[in-house]
Amino acid sequence: MPQLRIAMAQINSTVGDLDGNAALTVEWTRKAAEAGAHVVVFPEMSVTGYPVEDLAQRRTFALAARQAVDDLARRLDDAGCGEVLTYVGYLDRDEAGPRNAAAALYRGEVVARQYKHHLPNYGVFDERRNFKAGWTLDVVRLHGLDIGMVICEDIWQDGGPVSALGEAGVDLVVAPNASPFERAKDDIRLPLIARRAAEAGAPLVYTNLVGGQDDLVFDGDSMVAGANGELLARAPQFVEHLLVLDLDLPEREHRPEGEYVGLEVRRRVLGAEPLPRYQPRAAPPVREPLSDEAEVWSALVVGLRDYVHKNGFRSVTFGFSGGIDSALVAALAVDALGPDSVYGVSMPSKYSSPHSRADAAELAQRLGCHYRVEPVEDMIKVYVDQLKLTGLAEENIQARTRGMLLMALSNAEGHLVLATGNKTELAVGYSTIYGDAVGGFAPIKDVFKTHVWELARWRNAEAEKRGETPPIPENSISKPPSAELRPDQLDTDSLPDYALLDDVLDDYVEGDRGYADLAAAGFAPDVIDQVVRMTDKAEYKRRQYPPGTKITFKAFGRDRRLPMTNAWREGR
């Protein structure tokens, strides 16, 4: 049995940083070489970062990316890594247009280039807009072993490129991926990879991107499935990692070049001599996926950290209201950036309760972050008295004054302002545009209110397990939520109970269910009317809200694109 040592380099690329991503590739290929790997597989679009969106349409960027890959092959050889067959993803361009591509690099050359066949056009993906599909499969023969490649969505297609490689008799399939995280995605991903490996009749090596890019976050979770579908190795989630595995590959009948399952298979022979035998290394552990709350927390932390750092910020600021949303964002920010990079601001008005002021101060003390108090009562009074504001106008000017104060501190001190609103509020428009909606990033934008409480309790419980002080004051979790914009105000004055509200929103927003479906699910007609009306009317607010990390199947933004001017209403 020929023995092959394969490495998966689960790295965190940055979109557009060709030099930085190439340097990262050299660094991790060197680690693979030091581990004795014959092959190393990087994620989809690893040299350009992913997704590149309409950067794909810029000819200058596509040509620079292709040149970066050519240069990278030489850099790897100069670094002593030329004998490692290295698969990288990048943006290419030919006479047909931009391509989502991957290349095999060996001994200073690009020995194979392949284009993605299936271009996803659903959810967050818009690849048919940006790329042209491929039609060939490039197989590399390394020391007598045939290695085929598929790119991300290609493994999601029944009877597609994987079947063609299986028909061609390859010994191994490598799959560079950039598969964004969402809750429970592994329930789909792992069985899929196992099925495709069995379909190919060969081990399948799945290397996934890790890190945050705008509103997306990638969880890594790279893995290898054997020809029988058995999970052989798995990398940790949400961290850069090199997973190295020895594979004993039984000899197979390699069929000639030609068309299989409607795709043209081409072969490049790199070396005819067999691989030398070597001392096998212990198999890496098959890591268990994180629990639901742990992986969501990790996703939110990584998404926030990478957005801040990749955009050149060193610190964040936002309002410490004493409520649960700002408390959860504060705990996330400290976990992501460290306490010295978090600047909390308490902005009490005449309606702010003593317990909210105390809870905000206690939160800062528990987290060890920066904290200041900037009363806004006098600022608000100027607006109220001069414009004679009452009712909703008076309430909203409080939120807008706070937003203006935070943006002023951002300009003066260089912090990125975080918006602390959750998905439930965003859905029904329960926020003040240019007020509490102000900011450059919204960490819990895709977290329903009931999930906010669950995450807060989970994070406190984790701290207690480690013998640490729970970061979030218990009073912030247990007290009835209130915007405190008028005396004795509660959220339930304007909204259904959050548990009920989130149930309706889950069906209406995530499930795209209409009125009849919602009624059949048992929701009261008046509740359906209220929630649907509020959600539909708030589209213009959502369009102006900051980006935030996607964790659900359908997040506001890329996943759900509805017109702001829209006269359609769900009705009885």
Q: How many CB atoms lie within 10 A of CB 393?
A: 12
Query: Does 334 lie in the same domain as 195?
Result: no
**Residue 225: beta bridge partners?**
204, 231
What single letter denotes the amino acid at residue 13? S
Spatial distance between the Cα atoms of 486 and 489, rounded to a whole number of angstroms: 6
Q: Is residue 520 in a domain?
A: no
What single letter denotes the amino acid at residue 295? E
Query: Does 391 lie in the same domain as 349?
Result: yes
- CATH code, domain with 312: 3.40.50.620
SS3 call for 280: coil
What is this structure's pTM? Answer: 0.94
Angle at Cα 220 formed by Cα 125 and Cα 229, nearest 5°? 95
Number of domains comprising the chain: 2
**Cα 468 vs. chain centroid, distance in angstroms?**
28
Predicted confidence at residue 125, as pLDDT, reads 85
Query: Does 373 lie in the same domain as 244?
Result: no
Spatial distance between the Cα atoms of 422 and 305, rounded to a whole number of angstroms: 18
The backbone torsions φ and ψ at residue 331, rounded to the nearest 5 degrees and listed phi first, read -65, -40
Nearest to 28 by CA among 48, 50, 43: 43
Say which of 81, 116, 362, 449 is annotated catalytic: 116
Q: What is the H or E stretch that residue 141 is in? A: strand 136-142
Predicted confidence at residue 383, as pLDDT, reads 96
Q: Is residue 533 in a domain?
A: no
Nearest to 334 by CA among 293, 379, 300, 367: 367
Domain that holds residue 396: 293-491
Q: Is residue 286 in a domain?
A: no
Q: How far is CA 227 from CA 154, 201, 203, 223, in A?
A: 18, 5, 5, 13
Buried residues in 343-374 as b, exposed as e (16+ CB within 10 A): bbbbbbbebbeeebbebbbbbbebbebbbeee
Q: Across the beta sheet with 258-260, what order do the strands follow?
A: 231-234, 223-225, 204-208, 172-177, 145-149, 136-142, 263-271, 258-260
Spatial distance between the Cα atoms of 225 and 194, rounded to a whole number of angstroms: 6
Strands (E), 150-249: 172-177, 204-208, 210-213, 216-219, 223-225, 231-234, 241-248
Q: Is 34 a catalytic residue?
A: no
Query: Does 88 lie in the same domain as 188?
Result: yes
The position carrying tokens 């067999």 is 274
Spatial distance between the Cα atoms of 355 and 168, rounded to a whole number of angstroms: 70
- 496 preceded by cis ω (within 30°)? no
Query: Does 408 lie in the same domain as 309?
Result: yes
Query: Does 262 lie in the same domain as 124?
Result: yes
Query: Does 265 lie in the same domain as 297?
Result: no
Q: Is residue 227 in a domain?
A: yes
Predicted confidence at residue 122, as pLDDT, reads 79
How does DSSP classify residue 493? G
Q: How far is CA 112 from CA 115, 147, 308, 352, 483, in A?
A: 10, 11, 36, 65, 59
Query: Does 307 lie in the same domain as 256?
Result: no
- Given 457, 491, 525, the domain boundary residue is 491
Say which of 152, 445, 449, 570 is annotated catalytic: 152
**Cα 366 vs. chain centroid, distance in angstroms?**
29
Predicted confidence at residue 276, as pLDDT, reads 62
Q: Is residue 556 in a domain?
A: no
Query: Does 298 lie in the same domain as 160?
Result: no
Predicted confidence at residue 572, as pLDDT, reads 67
What pLDDT tens digit does each residue of the chain (572 aa) get?
668 999 999 999 999 999 999 999 999 999 999 999 999 999 999 999 999 999 999 999 999 999 999 999 999 999 999 999 999 999 999 999 999 999 999 999 999 999 998 888 877 888 888 889 888 999 999 988 999 999 998 998 888 899 999 999 999 999 999 999 999 888 889 999 999 999 999 999 999 999 999 999 999 999 999 999 999 999 999 999 999 999 988 878 889 989 998 889 998 988 667 666 667 888 887 888 899 999 999 999 999 999 999 999 999 999 999 999 999 999 999 999 999 999 999 999 998 889 999 999 999 999 999 999 999 999 999 999 999 999 999 999 999 999 999 999 999 999 999 999 999 999 999 999 999 999 999 999 999 999 999 999 999 999 999 999 999 999 999 998 887 778 878 888 888 999 999 999 999 999 999 999 999 999 999 999 999 999 999 999 999 999 999 999 999 988 888 889 888 888 76
- For the chain, the 3-state helix, strand and coil shares in percent, each to the nearest 5, are 40, 20, 40
Predicted confidence at residue 352, as pLDDT, reads 87
Query: Does 268 lie in the same domain as 192?
Result: yes
- CATH code, domain with 241: 3.60.110.10
Q: How far is CA 353 from CA 242, 318, 487, in A?
A: 51, 19, 9
Q: Is 116 a catalytic residue?
A: yes
Query: Does 235 lie in the same domain as 298?
Result: no
**β-pair type (258-260, 263-271):** antiparallel
Predicted confidence at residue 438, as pLDDT, reads 95
Query: Does 312 lie in the same domain as 214?
Result: no
